[in-house]
Amino acid sequence: MKRTHAAGISSALVILSAGTQASVLTFLIDGLGNFGTIPQAYGDRIVALDDDIYHYDEQGEGFTPNIEVSYTTSDGQDPSHWGTGYGDLVNIYFENNDGNGSGEVVLTADYGYEVVLYSFDMSAYTNAFSIDPTIDAVRVQGCSPTPLFEQLNAVISRTTHTTYDFTASPLQAREIRVQFESGNLGGLSDDIAFDNIRFGQVAVDPVDIACPSDFATPVCVLDFFDVSAFLTRFNASDPSADFNGDGDFNFFDVSIFLSEYTAGCNAD
Ligand SMILES: [Ca+2]
Ligand SMILES: [Ca+2]
Ligand SMILES: [Ca+2]
Ligand SMILES: [Ca+2]
């Protein structure tokens, strides 16, 4: 649900907006060998090509200081690193638990920002297959149950790589989950790789936020933490809690917050 809002605040935030930026996860991490666990800190708030042991690329569009990255483990995944052998990709993410195959990389933006996904690469472990394998799905999920992108029965290159390119119409949401499902490969489900996840951030006007009550993590979910974060901002007279944009903090802002909260968070 989008809320309408006084123009004064919205134009002020447009002036503050930083424009489009992009970082690339290359999975080049010093000292991390084959089967090494991808550190959950890799990709968080990227502000330079090199951050201690972590290395990134960028495409001349700047970095992503307002985005955190995580590698899902909650469904039994083992997010792992491999050097070479997956087509022509070098240093990749793979999901090491044979038969699981639910690879997922999650990009989460701070309140007031959204993630923009430009592209990512995939490949299959060359020596594991005689032809390019077909996996159940490649998917990009936003906050809505309807995927932003989905390809079922996706064929993944074993000799070079397969690029999913959205640069003509980038995918955008507060939180983006880049997923593959390779469980159909059974014991070879771990022979599928992600690499070169290219993403950016964009500052968004609260008027255009699909879920303006979603102040706190978990993002895309409205719960007590969002109520608590709203009340903290409200009590501090933070402009983000001035839901009707009139400069006052009173019952009307609480009322709008509660109706947004009740409406839920499925719009994007
Ligand atoms: Ca992280
Ligand atoms: Ca790489
Ligand atoms: Ca939340
Ligand atoms: Ca107000």
Q: Which pair of structure tokens corresponds to residue 232?
A: 């903290």
C-beta neighbour count of 217 within 10 angstroms? 16
Q: How far is the CA of 220 from the centre of ligand 3 (A)?
A: 6
Nearest ligand by distance to the CA of 216: 3
Residue-wise pLDDT for 185-196, tens only, equals: 999 999 999 999
Spatial CB neighbours of 216, under 8 Å, sequence gap ≥ 6: 225, 226, 228, 229
The per-residue pLDDT for 36 is 98
Report which bound ligand comes closest to the CA of 215.
3
Residue with tokens 């009590």: 235
pLDDT value of residue 158: 98
Got the DSSP string for 46-106? B-SSEETTEEEE--SS--BTTEEEEE--TTS--EEEE-S-BTTB-SEEEE-STTT-EEEEE
> Amino acid letter at 193?
A
C-alpha of residue 239 to centroid of ligand 4, in Å: 9
Ligand 1: distance of its center to the CA of 41 in Å? 4
pLDDT digits (tens, 9 = 90+) for 102-120: 999 999 999 989 999 999 9
Which residues have CB less than 5 Å away from ligand 2 (the ion)? Answer: 26-27, 91, 195
Distance CA 38, CA 247 (A): 45
Distance, CA 203 to ligand 3 centroid (Å)? 18
Query: Ligand 2 centre and the CA of 39: distance in Å?
Result: 15
Interatomic CA distance for residues 193 and 172, integer angstroms:
23
With a cut of 50, say whether residue 2 has pLDDT above it: no
Q: How much is the mean pLDDT over the chain?
A: 89
Question: Tell me: the pLDDT tens digits for 36-61?
Answer: 999 999 999 999 999 999 999 988 66
- Whether 207 has a pLDDT exceeding 80, the answer reads no
* Ligand 4 geometric centre to CA of 237 (Å): 9
Tokens of 184: 């159909």
Distance 216 CA to ligand 4 centre (A): 20
Looking at residue 211, its pLDDT comes to 80
- Ligand 4 centroid – CA 252 distance (Å): 6
Strand intervals (E) in the chain: 23-29, 50-51, 54-57, 67-71, 79-82, 92-95, 102-109, 113-124, 134-141, 149-155, 162-165, 171-173, 175-181, 192-203
Tokens 């001349």 locate to 60
241 Cα to the center of ligand 2, angstroms: 41
Nearest of 190, 193, 120, 126 to residue 158 by alpha carbon: 126
Q: What is the pLDDT of residues 154-172, one digit of tens each?
A: 999 999 999 999 999 999 9
Q: Which domains does the chain have, with CATH numbers?
A: 7-12+212-263 (no CATH), 18-203 (2.60.120)
**What is this structure's pTM?**
0.87
Q: Is the pLDDT of residue 6 over 90?
A: no
**Amino acid identity, residue 217?**
T
- The ligand placed nearest to the CA atom of residue 248 is 4
Which numbered ligand comes closest to the C-alpha of 227?
A: 3
